Structure 1
Amino acid sequence: EASAKLNNVPNGTTGKDGLQTRLDQIGTVTSPEVNDQDSNGVLDTDQLSEAEQAITAVEEAKKATDNKLAEITSDNLVNPSEKTELDKLIEALETAKAEAST
C-alpha cells in the first residue's frame, strides 16, 4: 500500500527519493513455525523426548516383569512371597504405562 502511494507521487517531487530509500530499507518479517502446538509452554520436541523416556521406562518395567515371571514359574511353583514380588512389578508396570500415556 505504501509502495503504491509512493508510486503515485510524481517523479521529481522533493522528498520522494528519501521516502523510496526508507521504504527500500524496510525488510520483510518471516513468521516462525509453531513449536508448541498445545500452547502449554513446553517445546513439542521436549514433550516428545519426555514421552520417549517414559516409554523406555515402560519397556524396562515389562522386561523386569517378564523376567521375574519366568524366574518364579520355572519350577512350576509360586509361593506367596513370589506372587507379591510379581504383583509389585506388575503394579509398577501399569503405573509406568499410565504415566507414559499421559
Structure 2
Amino acid sequence: LQTRLDQIGSVTIPEVNDQDSNGVLDTEQLSEAEQTIQAAEEAKKIVANKLTEITSDNLINPSEKTELEKLIETLETAKAEASTKLNSVPDGTTGKDALQT
C-alpha cells in the first residue's frame, strides 16, 4: 500500500488566465486593447499629417475644414474604442500597466 501511496503525485493548480470570467483569455483582451491603441495612434498621425498639409499655405477652405473634421471624428472614435478595450482588460493582467502609460 505504501508503494501505491508513494506513486500518487500532487496536482499543480494552473494560474488564473480569465480574471474576469468572461470566457476570453486576459492576454487576448490585452492584445485587442493594444491593437485598438495602435489604431488610435495611426489615426492621430493621419490627422497631424493632414493638418500640416492643409495649413502649409496658411489658407483653409471649407472642404479642407470638413475633411479635417471627419478625420478628427475618426480619431475620437478610435480613442474611445481603445479606452473601452483597455478598461475591459482585468487589473493585474501582465502588460496592462504598460499600455496605460
TM superposition score normalised by structure 1: 0.78
Range with bigger deviation, 23-32 or 81-90: 23-32
Is 2:15 the counterpart of 1:42? no
Q: Distance in 2 between matches of 1:98 and 1:52?
A: 13
Residues matched between the structures, number? 84
Which segments of 5 or more consecutive residues in structure 2 lack a partner in the other structure? 85-101
Cα distance, 1:21 vs structure 2: 2.3
Q: Distance in 1 between matches of 2:61 and 2:40?
A: 26
Larger radius of gyration: 1
Letter in 2 for 1:48: L
C-alpha distance after superposition, 1:35-89 (max 9, x if no partner): 1111111111111111111111011000000011111111111111101100000
Counting aligned pairs with the same residue, the percent is: 85
TM superposition score normalised by structure 2: 0.79
Return structure 1 stretches of 4+ with deviation > 2 angstroms. Answer: none
Q: Distance in 1 between matches of 2:21 and 2:62?
A: 49
Q: Distance in 2 between matches of 1:42 and 1:61?
A: 27
Range with bigger deviation, 32-41 or 85-94: 32-41
Letter in 1 for 2:15: E
Q: Distance in 1 between matches of 2:28 and 2:17?
A: 10
> RCO greater where, 1 or 2, for CA within 8 Å and sep 6 or more?
2
Which segments of 5 or more consecutive residues in structure 1 lack a partner in the other structure? 1-18
Q: Distance in 1 between matches of 2:21 and 2:58?
A: 53
Letter in 1 for 2:70: K
